[in-house]
């Protein structure tokens, strides 16, 4: 705040312009905080973006389909994306990239392995809270 006040005083900034600057910075800060919270709640094992993905290493993966998924239209349309394949083909990297993009666009995401999901479902079923888990 001191830096903003000094700049405003030095540059003879109007009150309305100064107020606008403060409000914009506060909005940016709050958006950043919300993004950080969504990223933390996603429980991503590591951070990898699509820019780090080597499509030449895995030519069977359609770059066009990946880029379409990154638009996150499938979320708005209530669709799912399943990544299937043997170990080492980039499924986790793509899943994390999709999650990061969704989070950046304001959606929430949660990274769980198939094993973790099955264990959670079993536990919820035993407690009688399976429907709550499915809704979540």
CA-CA distance, 134 to 125, in Å (whole number)?
11
pLDDT for position 100: 96
For the domain spanning 44-111, the CATH number is 3.40.50.300
**CB-based contact 52:93 (threshold 8 Å):** yes
**What residue ranges do the domains of the chain occupy?**
1-42, 44-111
* pLDDT tens-digit series, residues 30-54: 999 999 999 999 999 999 899 999 8
Which region among 34-38, 80-84, 95-99, 124-128 has the lowest average model confidence (pLDDT)?
A: 80-84
CA-CA distance, 30 to 46, in Å (whole number)?
24
* pLDDT tens-digit series, residues 76-94: 999 999 888 888 889 999 9
Res. 68: pLDDT tops 90:
yes
pLDDT for position 78: 93
- pLDDT, averaged across the chain: 91
User: How confident is the model over 53-62, as a mean pLDDT?
Assistant: 87
Count of H-run helices and E-run strands, the chain: 7, 0
Res. 3: pLDDT tops 90:
no
The angle subtended at Cα 130 by Cα 109 and Cα 34, nearest 5°, is 25
**CB-based contact 90:61 (threshold 8 Å):** yes
What distances in angstroms separate CA 8 from CA 13, 14, 27, 71, 102, one per listed residue? Answer: 5, 8, 19, 39, 37
Q: How many CA atoms lie within 13 A of 25 on its CB side?
A: 9
DSSP, residue by residue, 93-134 = HHHHHHHHHHHHTT-------HHHHHHHHHHHHHHT-HHHHH
Predicted structure pTM score: 0.77
């Amino acid at each position: 705040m001191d830096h903003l006040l000094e700049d405003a005083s030095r540059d003879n900034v109007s009150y309305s312009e100064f107020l606008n600057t403060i409000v914009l910075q506060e909005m940016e800060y709050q958006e950043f905080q919300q993004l950080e919270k969504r990223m933390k709640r996603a429980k991503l094992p590591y951070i990898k973006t699509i820019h780090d993905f080597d499509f030449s290493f895995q030519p069977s993966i359609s770059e066009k389909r990946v880029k379409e998924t990154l638009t996150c239209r499938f979320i708005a349309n209530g669709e799912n994306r399943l990544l299937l394949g043997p170990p080492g083909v980039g499924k986790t990297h793509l899943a994390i990239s999709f999650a990061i993009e969704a989070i950046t666009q304001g959606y929430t995401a949660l990274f769980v392995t198939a094993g973790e999901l099955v264990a959670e479902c079993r536990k919820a079923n035993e407690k009688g809270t399976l429907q709550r888990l499915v809704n979540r």
